[in-house]
Structure 1
Amino acid sequence: MSSTSFRVMKFGGSSVGSPRRLRQVLELIGLHAKAGPLAVVVSAMGDTTDWLLEAAELATRGELEEALTVVARVAHLAKTNATALHPARGTPLAARVDRLLAPLQQLLQGISLTRECSPASRDKVLAFGEWVSSTLLAELLEASGTPAAFRDARQLLVTDDTFGNARVDVARTREQLQRQSAGWGASVPVIPGFIAATVDGRTTTLGRNGSDYTAALVAQGLGASEVTVWTDVLGLHTADPDLVSDAYPVPHLTHGEGLELAAVGVRMLHPRTMIPLIESGISLRIRNTMHPDHPGTLIDAIGSRDGQRPTCIATREDLALLGIEVRKLSDQFQLGERALAALRASRVTVWMTAQSANGQSLAVVVPRPDVERARAALETELSQELARREVEPLGVRQPVTLLTLVAEAMGQGVNVAGRFFSALGAVGVGVRASAQGASSRSISCVVDAADTAIAVRTTHAAFNLAHQQVSLFLLGKGTVGGQLLAQLRAQQDLLRERHGIALRVVGLADSRHTLFEPAGLSLEGLEERLARVDRGEPGTRTLVPLLDELRRLPVPILVDCTAAGDVAPLYTEAFRRGVHVVAANKLPLALPWAEREALVAEARRNHVAYHYETTVASSLPVIDTLANLVRTGDTVRLITASLSGSVGYICNELMAGVPLSVAVRAARDRGFTESDPREDLSGADVARKALILARELGLPLSLSDVALEPFVPASAQADEPTEAFLRGLRALDGEYAEKVAHCHPSGTTLRYLARIDPSKLGTGTPVIRVGLHAAEVGHPAADLRGSESFVSFTTTRHSDFPLTVRGAGAGGAVTASGVLADILRVSQTLRGR
C-alpha cells in the first residue's frame, strides 16, 4: 500500500457516549487527518440503539407517549454531548438534533397506529442512532478545525432486503465507494456504521457488529491500508478480564487467529468483519479511545513472530449441549449431515459439533434459548429412527460454556491439547465434548456453566502466565500456621521469580474468626487483622460457603494447620468442589477405617490432591517414601520408627540427666509439643502417626488395634489445667531417672518407638506397638539428637540394610516447611511445564 492510501477509523458507541470521550475522539481524528487520507465510521451514541429498540416495541404496543419519551432521551444525550463541546453553538446543534429526529417521531406514530413493526420499519427506527451521531460528529469536527462531511452510508453500501441482518453486495458497494470518494476532496468523510440500503433505496441494517463490518467494507472499497477500531478496552485480551484478573492485551495476531476468535463469538470481532480484511490484506488494529498512546492489538497477515506469544482463551456462555447416539449405524445414516441440515433449516445457530470417529454419536452446541427449537428439529428429522429405537432419546445438558484456545502457534508445537485437557482435569473440570479444527489454530471444549470461571482461569494460567497462580485458604494461625505465614512472607518473591509459582493467601480462619478476599490478602499484619474481625459462629460448617468462592480461583488449596477434629466434612466439601487439601492435621486420617477410606476416595473421585506428608514426621518425606516403595512393587515387612520429635527430645534430655518435669517443660517452651503436652506424653499422637503409616500399606486398622504404652502413665495424666499437670510431673522425676540408670550399664538409650509388623495381621497379635524401648548401640534410634525422628523400612528389597529416613521431627518452622513443600507439590504437578 502506498503512504497516501486511506486509513479507516471506527468509533464505537462508548467512544462517543459522553462529552469527555467525544472530545478525545475529535482530537484523535484531527491528529490523524493530518497524516493522510482518513475515513471515519461511527456508531450510535452510548445506549442509543437499545433505546431505539425500546421505542419501537412501545410503539408496537400502542404506547406512543412512552415511545416519544424514549426519543426525548436519545435527543437529550445527543444535545448534551454536542453542546458540551461547543457551548456557543449549542442552540443550532440542539435544533439540528430535533430536525434529525422529527422523522423518527412520525415513524413511531405510524407504528403505534398500525400496532405493527415490520423488520423494514425496525431498521428505519434503528438507523436514526448512527445517523444522528455521524451528522453531529461531522459538524463538531468542522467546528474544531478539521474539515469533515457527513457521508450517508445508504448511498455507499448496497445490500439485499434481509432486514435486520442484510447481506452486502460487495461488488456494487466497492463501485459506489470508489465513484463517490472521488468527489470527497480533502475533508474527512464521516460515515454512519451499521446501516445500508437496498438497490431501490430502502434502509437496512447489518446486524451484530454492523459498524465494524461497515468499517471493513469501506476500507476494502477505498483500498485502505488499515482499519482502527477505537473502543473502551486496551485491545483484544488473552481472556475475559471479568473472569481473569491477569488477562492482558495481545499485541499481535494473524488474520487467521482473528477469524477463529470471531467464529467463537469474541465480542469485538465478527467473521463478516474479518473476511473483507483478509481478502484485501488490510490490517485491523483495536485501540482504546481514552489511552491513545497504547498500541492495542494489531491483526494482520503476518502476526507475531514471538515463539512465546500468548494464547487467547475465548468463552461463549449460555449454551446447551445436545447429544445424539445411534444404536445401529448404517452407511446411509449420515447422522452429522442430517442433524446440521435440520438445525440450519430451523435457523438454529450451531456453535460447535463433535462427532465420534465412527459416526456413532454426535454432540451439538446451540444457544440455550434455542434448545427446544433445536430438539424439535432433530426429533423431527430422526423421527423414524427414534420410533425404531435405532437412536437413543436426545440428551440435553444445559447451561454449558464453550471454551476455546486460539493461537497460530498451536499447530507448530506438540502436547497443546494434552496441556489443555490436563489443566482442566487437574482442577476437576469435566469436559463434556471437544473439537479441533483442521487449521490447528484452535481447540474447543464444552464445560458446565458452573465451571466456567475456574476453567478459564486455570487454562489462562497454564498457557499465558510466566507463573502458576495458587490460591491458599489457611486454617489455623497457631504454631504451624503462624510459621507458614512467616515462610510465605519470606519466600513469595523467590518462588515467583525462580520457580514460576505465585502463592496468594486468599483466606485465613481460626476457631472464631475468618478473613476471605479473592484478590488476595496482604500478608503483613494478617494475624492481627484476623483478630479484629467480628467473632463468628464456631466450627467449620460456616466455612463451606467460602469454598464456593475458593473453587473459582486459580489452583485452590485448603491448608489445614489445625488439630481440629471436625474438619473431615469440610475436606469432603472441598474435594467435591475441586479444591485441593494440604493438611498437617492427623485427626481425619485416624478416623474409623471406613470413614478414612471414604475421605481419600472422595479426593480421588474428584481428581484433586490430598497431601498430608507432615502428619507423620513433620517435614520428613516418610509417606512419599512409603508410597514409592509400594508403587514400585516392594513388600514392606517391618516399620520401626521414632515418630515424636517432642518425646525424642525429652528422651535425650533424660539421658543427659535432666529431670522429666524439666525436660517436658523445655520441650513445650521450644514449641516441640502440642500446647497441652499430654497429647504427646499419652502416646496418642505417636499411635495416630503409626496408624497413618499402617493404613498407607492398606492395613484396615483402627486406633483400638494399637498396643499402646503411654510415655507417661495414664494415672499421671489427670484432667486438670496444663500448668498443674506440669508441676505434678515432679512426682515422676525419680521414676524416670531410675529408667535412665538401668540403661547406662548396657549402653542402651531410652526411646519411645512405634513398630509396625504387617505379618501379624489376622494372627491375634497387634500389628502396631507403641512404647518405651531401650535401644541398643547401632540401632537407628540410638544416636538420635535433639528432636530428631526416624523411620526405618525393612522390605524385600531393603532387607539387609533397611531404608531409613531421618531428620528434624518437631517444631513449628519445620512442620510449616513440610506444609509448604506439599503446597508446592500440588502447584508443580498442575503447572505441567
Structure 2
Amino acid sequence: MDVLKFGGSSMGNTKNITKVINILESYSQKEKVVCIVSAVGGITDKLLTAGELALNKNEDYILEFENIKEIHYTVLSELIPSENEAAKRYLDNELNYLKNLLDGIYLINELTPKTSDKLVSFGELMSSFIITEAIKLRGIDAHRKNAQELIVTNSIFTKADVNYLATNKNIQDFFKSNSHALTILPGFVSKSNIGEITTLGRGGSDFTASIIAAALKVKQLEIWTDVSGMYTANPKLVKQASPIEELSYQEAMELSHFGAKVLFPPTIQPALDSEIPILIKNTLKPNEKGTLIKTESGTDSKKKSVSGISSVDNIALLTLQGNGMIGIPGFSKRLFEVLALEKINIIFITQASSEHSICFGISENDAELAATAVDEEFEYEISTRKIRPVTVEKDMSIVALVGDNMKNHQGISGKMFSALGKNNINVRAIAQGASEKNISAVIFKKDVKKALNSLHESFFEVKTKQLNVFITGVGNVGERLLAQIHQQNKFLKKELHINLRVIGISNSKKMYFDEDGIHLENWKELLSSGESASLDGFLEKTNVLNKRNSIFIDITASEAVSDMYADYLKRSISVIACNKIACSSDFKNYKNLKDLSKKYNASFLFETNVGAGLPIIDTLNNLVASGDKITSIQAVLSGSLNFVFNNFSSETKFYDVVKEAQAEGFTEPDPRIDLSGVDVARKILILARESGYEMNLEDITNKSFLTKANLKSDTVDDFFETLVHDEKHFQDLFASAQKNNSQLKYVAQFNLRKTSVGLEEIPQGHPFYNLEGKDNIVMFYSQRYPEQPIIVKGAGAGADVTASGLFADIIRVSNR
C-alpha cells in the first residue's frame, strides 16, 4: 500500500490538481493507494481572514466568503462536468454551512478556538470531495473517507494531541475492510473523543499522512509538494541551493524546525517511531528524485559535514541578566515555567557559563506577553536590583547549520562564524547542543539572505566564490574595466572559480543597480535609464542590497568619493581605489582606513594608485611582509610626464605634446595635476607609507619645472595659454639636457633623510635613461637589496593597463 500526501501548493489550482490526479492514477494501477490532501492553495488563510473580519464586525467577511466560494466553484467546474449535480449540491451545502458559521461569528462577536477549528476544517473537507469526484470520472475505483472519523484527539483546539491508541485502531479496522483501489482523506482535520471538530495545527496534513502511514506500517510515506525535496538552503533566497538526496530523521527534524517549509515538524515523529522512510517529491516535476528521509544517518565519509542550512524569521531575542543570578538555583526553572504557563514556545536557548544571563528566542508575536510575564515573575529581584528587567530585541532571525556528520568534525563552528564575520553579519547569540547536529546563531533579520548565501557558499560551493561589485566612475577607465569583466567572466568561473557580478554602476549623473547582476552587453543604455546619482544614495543602495563579498570600486579623482571609504569599510565592504586622494591625505585618515580594513575584515586595495597596472605596491607589500626594510626608493612614477618628455624636443612644442598626452588619456582631465608634480608626490608618499614610514604630503620637497604663470593659472584653458607663452622656458630645459648628453625625467626619491620629486637630467647608463613612452620604473633598495635593487618596470599610464590593475585587485579580494 502507498501513502501519498499532497499539500496546498499541489492543490493550488486546476492545473496542479490535474497533475495530482495523473500521479494518483499512475500509482493506483500498481497497488492500493491512500491519498491525503490539503485545502486548495491559500484557502485556510482566507478562512481565517474571513473569521477575523466577522469577529471585528467588518462586513468585508462576506466578500472574503464570496472569494472562497468562487475559487471552489471554478475548480469544480473545470474538473467536473456541469451535469454532475450531486457534486454541486454537496458543495452548495458545505458553503451554506460555512456562510452560516461566519454570520454567527459576526452576530455574536465571538470566535473561540473551538469555532476556529470548525471554520478552517471546511478547506480540506471540500478539496478532498472535489478531487475524489474528479478522479472517479477517469474510471478509477476511488473513495473518500473523512479523516475526522479515524483520528481521535483531546479537546485542545487549533493544535490537538492525538490519541494514538484509539486512532490506530480506527485506521487499521477501516483499511482491513476497505477494498477500494484509491482512498482519499482530508488532512489536518480530526475529532475529539467526545465528537468535537478539532485540527492538528497548521501543516497538519503532513501529520495526518504520517499517522496513517505509521498505523498501516507501510514501506514508505510520500509527501508531494512544489519543490523537489528538502534543499541545502531555501531556494527562494539561495539560487545555488540544490535538493538533498538523503537525510536522517534527526536532520530532517532540525531543518524543518528551523524553517524548512517542506515538512511540518511533528510530521516526522510517527514515521520515525515506526522507522518508515519519508520521500519528498515534486508534484510539478514528478520524475525528479526528491529527498529520502530515513533512519540511517548516512555518516559515511562521502557525505558532507553539513547537510543543510535553514532559517526562521520573526524572532524576538529576550535576555534575563544580573549578578543576582550567579550561583542561585531555580532561576531557569522559574523562567521557563512562566513561559510555559503562557503557552509560549521557546525556539532558542543559551546561557552564559558564568550564570550571569539567560538568553532565549521566541516568536516575535509573543515578545510583549513574554516580557510582561517574566518581569512580573521576577518583580522582587528586579526591584532589589539583583537582576535587570528583561530586554527584548526584535527583527531577528535564526540561521542554523544542520548535519549528522558535524559531530566531532573540527572547524565547523569556526568556518561558520568566519563566513558570517567576513560579511559584517553580527551574531547576537549562539547555541550548539551536545549532539553537535545543529549550530544556531541569532542575527538581524535584514542579514538573513546574505547569511544564507555566505554559509551556502562556504559549505556547498567551495569551488565558486561570488563577488558583488559596485563601481563609481564609469568613464574611460571604468568602461575598460567593465569590458574586461565581461570578457573574462567565463574564464573566471572555469579557471579561478569566481562568479564576478557587477551589481551597481554610477557616473556623475546617473546610477543603476541590478541585484542579480547587470547585463554588461548594454550597460550604457541601462545606466542612462537609471536614477539620479548621489554618493549617499549609492552607499545606501549598496547597504540595502546587503550582498555578500561586496566590493566598492572608486575610479574617480573625487575627494568627496574618497571621503566615503570609511563608510563602506565599516559595513565590511571591500574598497578598491584608483583614486589617490585617500591614501595621500592626512596620515591619520590613511591609518584609519587601514585600521578599519583590519577591524571589519574588508580589503582596502589601491594598486593602481602607483604605476597603473604594474605590481609596484604588491611587490613592496611582499618585501615588508617578509621582514625586509625599505631604505630608499628611486622612481619615475608618472607615465604622463614620461610620455611628455619622451616626445618633447627642439622640433616640437611643449604645448602640443601636453595636448596629445591629454587626448590619449595619459594625464588627468586637468593636466596641471600631473605637470605640477602633485600626482607624483602623492605616489611616492603612498610608497613611503606602505614601506612603514609616517609621512604627509607637506614633508615632500616638490621641485617644480613649471613657470610661475603656469602654476598660477586659474583654469585648464588658462594653463594651456601659459604653456604657449612660456615655450622658451621648456626649450631651455631640453637644450640643457641635450648639452649634458642626458634625458629629462621626472624623478621621485625617498630615503631616510629626504623625500623629493622634480625634473632631473638623467645621464647615459642610468636605469632611467632609456625609459620609453609612458613607462614607469621603480627601484626598491632595502636591507636585503642594498646595492642591486628590485626593479619594477612597465607601462604606467593608460586606460587599459589601469583597468587591468583594478581587475587584479578584484582577484586579490577573492583570494583573501
- Provide the rounded CA distance (Å) in 2 between the counterparts of 1:363 and 1:655: 78
Is 1:446 the counterpart of 2:442? The answer is yes
Match of 1:8 in 2: 3
- Provide the rounded CA distance (Å) in 2 between the counterparts of 1:500 and 1:446: 30
- Provide the rounded CA distance (Å) in 1 between the counterparts of 2:87 and 2:204: 27
The one-letter amino acid of 1:411's match is K
Is 1:560 the counterpart of 2:559? The answer is no
| Residues 263-299 of structure 1: CA deviation (Å, up to 9, x unaligned) | 2232222321111222222222233322223333332
Q: How far off is 1:488 after superposition?
A: 1.0
Is 1:817 the counterpart of 2:804? The answer is yes
SS in 1 for 2:278: strand
* Aligned match for 1:317, one of 299, 305, 313: 313
Match of 2:282 in 1: 288
Q: How far off is 1:302 after superposition?
A: 4.1
| Residues 377-412 of structure 1: CA deviation (Å, up to 9, x unaligned) | 333444444344333443332221111122333336
Greater Cα offset, 616-625 or 164-173:
616-625
- Provide the rounded CA distance (Å) in 1 between the counterparts of 2:443 and 2:785: 48
Match of 1:405 in 2: 401
Match of 1:787 in 2: 774
Identity %: 32
Question: Given the superposition, is the C-alpha separation of residues 711 and 231 from structure 1 closer, same or farther in structure 2, using an over 3 Å criterion?
Answer: farther
Question: Given the superposition, is the C-alpha separation of residues 48 and 586 from structure 1 closer, same or farther in structure 2, using an over 3 Å criterion?
Answer: same
Q: How far off is 1:783 after superposition?
A: 4.9
Contact 1:336–1:355 under 8 Å retained in 2: no
The one-letter amino acid of 2:17's match is L
SS in 1 for 2:642: helix
- Provide the rounded CA distance (Å) in 1 between the counterparts of 2:725 and 2:404: 75
Match of 2:110 in 1: 116
Match of 2:39 in 1: 44
Is 1:96 the counterpart of 2:94? The answer is no
Contact 1:160–1:169 under 8 Å retained in 2: yes
| Residues 155-193 of structure 1: CA deviation (Å, up to 9, x unaligned) | 211211111111112233222211110111133111110
Is 1:617 the counterpart of 2:607? The answer is no
Contact 2:607–2:615 under 8 Å retained in 1: yes
| Residues 710-745 of structure 1: CA deviation (Å, up to 9, x unaligned) | 24445346434387577667545522321322441x
SS in 1 for 2:9: helix
Q: How far off is 1:791 after superposition?
A: 3.0
Contact 2:172–2:215 under 8 Å retained in 1: yes
Equivalent residue runs for 1:324-723 within 5 Å: 324-327=320-323, 330-333=326-329, 335-411=331-407, 413-465=409-461, 466-527=463-524, 529-530=526-527, 532-533=528-529, 536=532, 540-550=535-545, 552-631=546-625, 634-653=628-647, 660=654, 664=658, 667-668=661-662, 670-697=664-691, 699-716=693-710, 718=713, 719-721=715-717
Question: Given the superposition, is the C-alpha separation of residues 338 and 633 from structure 1 closer, same or farther in structure 2, using an over 3 Å criterion?
Answer: farther
Q: Which runs of 5+ in 2 are unaligned?
A: none
| Residues 446-471 of structure 1: CA deviation (Å, up to 9, x unaligned) | 11222222222222222223311111
- Provide the rounded CA distance (Å) in 2 between the counterparts of 1:88 and 1:689: 84
The one-letter amino acid of 1:640's match is Q
SS in 1 for 2:346: coil
Match of 2:196 in 1: 202
SS in 1 for 2:502: strand
- Provide the rounded CA distance (Å) in 2 between the counterparts of 1:33 and 1:656: 98
| Residues 574-611 of structure 1: CA deviation (Å, up to 9, x unaligned) | 23433221111112223334444444444444432221
- Provide the rounded CA distance (Å) in 2 between the counterparts of 1:347 and 1:482: 60
Match of 2:731 in 1: 734
Greater Cα offset, 627-636 or 259-268:
627-636
The one-letter amino acid of 1:791's match is V
Question: Given the superposition, is the C-alpha separation of residues 800 and 283 from structure 1 closer, same or farther in structure 2, using an over 3 Å criterion?
Answer: same
| Residues 289-318 of structure 1: CA deviation (Å, up to 9, x unaligned) | 222233333323347775458742212111
Contact 1:83–1:93 under 8 Å retained in 2: no
- Provide the rounded CA distance (Å) in 1 between the counterparts of 2:526 and 2:725: 38
Equivalent residue runs for 1:43-82 within 5 Å: 43-60=38-55, 67=61, 70-82=64-76
SS in 2 for 1:638: strand
- Provide the rounded CA distance (Å) in 2 between the counterparts of 1:778 and 1:396: 75
Match of 2:16 in 1: 21
Greater Cα offset, 661-670 or 338-347:
661-670
Is 1:186 the counterpart of 2:180? The answer is yes
State TM-score, norm by structure 2: 0.92
The one-letter amino acid of 2:748's match is A
SS in 1 for 2:786: coil
Q: How far off is 1:197 after superposition?
A: 1.5
Contact 1:661–1:729 under 8 Å retained in 2: no
Contact 2:272–2:295 under 8 Å retained in 1: yes
Question: Given the superposition, is the C-alpha separation of residues 776 and 171 from structure 1 closer, same or farther in structure 2, using an over 3 Å criterion?
Answer: farther
Contact 1:254–1:302 under 8 Å retained in 2: yes
- Provide the rounded CA distance (Å) in 2 between the counterparts of 1:61 and 1:527: 54
| Residues 756-789 of structure 1: CA deviation (Å, up to 9, x unaligned) | 23x44xxxxxx43111234456655345444332
| Residues 473-512 of structure 1: CA deviation (Å, up to 9, x unaligned) | 1222233212212211221111111111011112221111
- Provide the rounded CA distance (Å) in 1 between the counterparts of 2:792 and 2:386: 62
Greater Cα offset, 703-712 or 581-590:
703-712
The one-letter amino acid of 2:609's match is T
Q: Which runs of 5+ in 1 are unaligned?
A: 1-5, 761-766
SS in 1 for 2:517: coil
Greater Cα offset, 665-674 or 338-347:
665-674
| Residues 494-539 of structure 1: CA deviation (Å, up to 9, x unaligned) | 1111111011112221111222211111111323553x437835x5
Equivalent residue runs for 1:161-240 within 5 Å: 161-240=155-234
Alpha-carbon RMSD: 3.0
Contact 1:655–1:750 under 8 Å retained in 2: no
- Provide the rounded CA distance (Å) in 1 between the counterparts of 2:790 and 2:420: 38
Equivalent residue runs for 1:747-786 within 5 Å: 749-757=743-751, 759-760=752-753, 767-775=754-762, 780-786=767-773
The one-letter amino acid of 1:689's match is K
Q: How far off is 1:68 after superposition?
A: 5.6
Contact 1:567–1:588 under 8 Å retained in 2: no
- Provide the rounded CA distance (Å) in 1 between the counterparts of 2:630 and 2:330: 58
SS in 1 for 2:815: helix
Contact 2:278–2:293 under 8 Å retained in 1: yes
SS in 2 for 1:138: helix
- Provide the rounded CA distance (Å) in 2 between the counterparts of 1:580 and 1:452: 20
SS in 2 for 1:567: helix
- Provide the rounded CA distance (Å) in 2 between the counterparts of 1:519 and 1:778: 56
- Provide the rounded CA distance (Å) in 1 between the counterparts of 2:172 and 2:122: 25
Greater Cα offset, 175-184 or 641-650:
641-650
Contact 1:682–1:714 under 8 Å retained in 2: no
Greater Cα offset, 800-809 or 200-209:
800-809
Match of 2:151 in 1: 157
Contact 1:75–1:98 under 8 Å retained in 2: no
State TM-score, norm by structure 1: 0.90
